[in-house]
Each structure stands twice: as structure tokens, then as C-alpha cells.
Structure 1
Amino acid sequence: MSSSVVYRVAGIHSKQPWFVMSAAEYFSLFASDDPMISHYYSFEADHTHGMTMAIPDGCVDIVFDCDPSAPNAVVCGTAVEATSARFIHKHRYFGVRYAPGLVPDFVKASAAEMIDQKLNFLDAVPGAHSLFEQIVSEQDFARQVTLLKEFVAKRSTRKQSAVTSLAVRTILQHKGNLQMRDLEEVTGFTSRTVQRQFQDDLGLSPKAFSRMIRGQSAVYEINHSRHNKVAFSELACDLGFSDQSHFLREFKKLVNATPLDYQNLVKQQTYLDRIRCC
């Protein structure tokens, strides 16, 4: 894999690595130039690689099952713990992942109603039948990306308070390693105000969102480490965990594997080589 491809993949922090590792062959990825969108992706599911898990990432996904006999689509709110992702063996999927902390405004559900939920796309997005039919009948990944980009370009993400926007940016910049007092200092508001605004806008507390981003940061470091082994004690310290045991417990809850087991699986399946950037 060329260094330029590694750079493009490494620039995307909102990862669902179990999706990549459960792909039949390649996991096709298209990095977005739209700040609202993290990336688009496509893959064929292969259950012989084991159960596919969704890990918390603070993102909203729209996923299309493009199987000709039974196509469907769902809007997925972020999980709060590692949870099973039900992909059907040999079905081809196309999806879009919004940037962490952003919620599309065309989904007819509150942010809180989307947490840990999968909503039927046609029920949650009125007037999207034509888009659905075009995407599930299209075999070309690049064309699917174009269709969804055209749909999204006419819409926006849900407006959120300036307090929440600043808090989200700060949490992302610090890889989730923040305390409420840090957000108070950055925003100039009390923790009560920050938490209320954040909950109203994202359906999550700042602490829960920070926990997701810190977990994603740990996954990112393991995925893109240039060394065969990551020093978990150093990683735990860098991300602000109280000790290595705390890091191990949190990682297991968020990723459904210990850091060592996850690292070994990523290296065994050559994670980065499975990703094909388009």
C-alpha cells in the first residue's frame, strides 16, 4: 500500500474496524471533502470472519443493503457500547458516515431517539424513495457516492448551539481526553449549561461523547502504528486513563476485545491492506 493511501486512511478517525475485517475482500472507502461527512464506504459481508461489531464513534451512519432480492436501508445512531452489527452474508452494502457530533437534519427523529437505534431509512427520511431505488440498483461505488452527495448537498446537518459546537471541536482536538472543568474553561459556561445543551443537541452527555472519542483514538493508534506492538501503558497515559487497568476495561467495553487481542487480529488480517481508497 502506498504512503499516500495510508495517509488518506489515517486521516479518518471515525472507524468501524470490525466492518473492514468482516469484508469478503476489500473494504472500499471514499474520503469526503464535505466537512459534514467523514466518508463513504462499500463492502460485501463475509460471516466466515466472525461476528461484526459496531463500536461507539459519535457518528450517524446511513447504510444501504443493495441485495437485489431484498434491498433496504437504515439510519444508524451511534452505539454507546460495542454492539452486534447484523450484516447478511454475501450481501453488498453501501454507507455514508457523518462526522462525529453531526446529525443530518433530514432524519425525522431527535438526536436522543437515534442513540443505539436503527431506523428504517424510508420511514425516517420522507421523500427519499427515488434516492433509495437509485442507490440499491446501482452497482458502481463511485456512482452511489455521487448520488448520495447530490442528495446531501441540498440539505444540511441539524443546527446545534454554539456551546455544543465548541465542546465537540474541543473534545475531538483532545482525543476525548478532557474533564468537564476543561469544557467550562473553553466555553465560558457552567458544566450544567454545557451538559444541558450537549444533551439537547446530540442526545448524549459530553462525558459519553468524550468516552467514545477516546476509544476511537485508541483504536486509531493501534490501527496505524508503524510498530508491531503498541505499548498499552503509554497509550493509556497519553489518552488520560487513570491507569492501564482502567484503559483495558474501557477498551473491552467499547471494542468487544482486549487491546492485545484486537492488535493481534488487526495485524493478522493486515487491516490497512484490506482498505481500498477510491
Structure 2
Amino acid sequence: MSDQSFTFYRPSPQLAPYVRYYWTLRSSEASSALTFPIGCPQIIFHRKTTFFIPELSTSQPRLTISGQVNFPAHIRTTGELDTIVAVFRPHGLSMFIGPMLHDFYNMEISGLDIADREIDRLDYEIGNCKDTPTCVSIIDSFLLARLKTMQTGKHSTMMALNHRRLDATVTRILNTPDTRMDELHELSCLGKKQFERLFKSHIGMNPKEYSRIARFQKSLHLMQRHLDSPIDYAEISHSCGYSDQSHFIREFKLFSGHTPTELLSVTTPYSDLFTNPLL
């Protein structure tokens, strides 16, 4: 992409357990980019043109709830962009829209289709906002108010407990993506089926598939850190818990569309899941 401007913003401290960061993109030209499964749901606000996703044969709605995906995408734009994105922690978005993330799996859903008047009003405010920093502030204030409501509602105790359970299991997956599934449900203090239902409804895919996404993102991160020296793919394969290098290459190609060496000639490896652009 050319002639574009990225800016990153921190969420309010109260939102940090749920929202990783906000980013904005302004661009005056048609553009394209290869994207990968990142393991984090997002809410996307398009104030001008939107992203077209050829793999889904669709353009994102003006206000998009983007769930977990398991495929690479070649997103395109056809004109001027003014886009704001809230990037949530893997289990964070459910705190604001409820445990319905499985409905957004491999989907780009309009936020106006979930019958939420507050989100409808947020969409209107962002569409009529004059500048980007004010838009980010409006989104942050909306999420703070929604969080307060969820934390004081009649199901708040169970939601807080489920968040702690998922926080523990997601942390384990990110640290050790090849953790066995029985260890994860034992860590959550839930039975296997109950844990899998909870995980899928709050994160958007089953824990085994999510672990594969995390392992892929970890391999991207290791490649990203060693761009100035020869990349040891066998070491990356071992560090990420793949059974062997062939397994690593197959999984990498599934989620990126390229082998690791091919990707280096297409784009610079970058892990959205393991990189914090605000640090």
C-alpha cells in the first residue's frame, strides 16, 4: 500500500483486559494487502470506502464485526480510506456483545444486524464525527459504558468467572500453543464439553483450531524477529511445537497461502497476535 497513514491508540486502563489497541488507517489510493488469521476479533468502522474480501466475495459493511478466521485473505480497496479498528483480546469482545462469537466465525457481519440500538447509535456518531482522534474517544467511551453495564448486570458474576477461566487458558495457549486439550479444560476447572462450548462461544472457534492459529502466529513472530539473520526453520518448528518441519510448512501454507520461504518474497512477516505496536 502507498500514500497511507497508520496511527495506534491505547484503550482506557479499565478496558486493557479486553481491548488490545485501536488503529486507524487513512489512504487516498486504491490498494491491496495480504492478511492472515490473527486470533483476535475486531470491530471495524469504515468512514469512507470499505475493504473488499475476494475469498468471501463480499465487501465489509460500514460497521463490521469481524470474527475469528482460518484462512488468508487478499483484501482490496477501490478508493479513499478512513478506517478505525478496535482490536480485542481473543476472549475480550464477548464482554461487550455477549457469548455469541461462534456466529461470526469466518464471517464479516454488519454491526447493524445484531439488533443493538446502542451499536446503531455508535455507528451514527462515528459517521458524523469530524476527526479521527475524537472517533477513537467515542468508541472508547462506548466500550467503557458497555463494560460497566455488563459488570453490574445480573449475570456479571458468571461473566467474570468465565473471563478468568478463558484468560488462563488463552494465556497458556499463547505461551505454549501445543498444550494438550485435556490440560486446557482441567485448567478451566470445567468438563471437556463444557469448556469447549464456553471457548467457542466467547472466542469464536474451538480450542484446538485456535491453538493452531496461535502456533502459526508464533512462527510468524519468530520469523519477524530474525529477518536480519538466516532463519532456522527447524528451530522455529521446534519452538512452536510442530511435530516436524514438514508439519510446520503445511500449517504455515494453510494459514498464509505460502510456504515460509515463499512468504519472504511476498511480504515481511508480522505477527499481529504476538506484537504490540504500542510498545
Q: Please, what TM-score do these two structures have when normalized by structure 2?
A: 0.75
Deviation track 1:49-90 (CA, whole Å, cap 9, x = no partner) reads 64x344222221111111189x92111111122234354433
Other-structure match for 1:43:
25
2:54 pairs with 1:63: no
Deviation track 1:81-108 (CA, whole Å, cap 9, x = no partner) reads 2234354433221111111122244437
Other-structure match for 2:6:
27
* Contact residue 58 and residue 101 of structure 1 kept, 8 A: no
Other-structure match for 2:171:
169
Other-structure match for 1:235:
236
Distance 1:204 1:128, change over 3 A: closer
Other-structure match for 2:109:
119
Distance 1:203 1:220, change over 3 A: same
Q: How many residues align?
A: 249
Q: C-alpha distance in 1, partners of 2:185/2:173?
A: 12
Q: Which 5+ residue runs of structure 1 have no aligned equivalent?
A: 1-21, 270-274
Q: C-alpha distance in 2, partners of 1:81/1:68?
A: 23
Deviation track 1:25-60 (CA, whole Å, cap 9, x = no partner) reads 33222243422111111113577664x344222221
* Contact residue 61 and residue 75 of structure 1 kept, 8 A: yes
3-state SS of 2:261 partner:
helix
Q: Which 5+ residue runs of structure 2 have no aligned equivalent?
A: 51-60, 151-155, 271-275
Q: C-alpha distance in 2, partners of 1:256/1:47?
A: 25
2:98 pairs with 1:97: no
Distance 1:40 1:200, change over 3 A: closer
* Contact residue 163 and residue 194 of structure 1 kept, 8 A: no
Q: 1:153 aligns with which of 144, 149, 159?
A: 144
Q: Please, what TM-score do these two structures have when normalized by structure 1?
A: 0.75
Specify the code of the residue in structure 1 equivalent to 2:253: K
Q: C-alpha distance in 2, partners of 1:230/1:26?
A: 30
Paired residues for 1:175-254 under 5 Å: 176-187=177-188, 189-225=190-226, 227-254=228-255
* Contact residue 42 and residue 66 of structure 2 kept, 8 A: yes
Deviation track 1:95-125 (CA, whole Å, cap 9, x = no partner) reads 1111112224443782211111111122234
Paired residues for 1:124-143 under 5 Å: 124=114, 125-138=116-129, 140-143=131-134
Q: C-alpha distance in 2, partners of 1:277/1:200?
A: 29
Identity %: 20
Distance 1:171 1:66, change over 3 A: same
Q: 1:77 aligns with which of 67, 73, 76?
A: 67
Shift of residue 191, structure 1, vs aligned partner: 3.7
* Contact residue 28 and residue 277 of structure 1 kept, 8 A: no
Shift of residue 144, structure 1, vs aligned partner: 2.0
Structure of higher RCO (CA pairs closer than 8 Å, 6+ residues apart) = 1
Q: C-alpha distance in 1, partners of 2:278/2:187?
A: 36
* Contact residue 31 and residue 77 of structure 2 kept, 8 A: no
3-state SS of 1:252 partner:
helix
Deviation track 1:205-243 (CA, whole Å, cap 9, x = no partner) reads 110111111111122222333624421111111001111
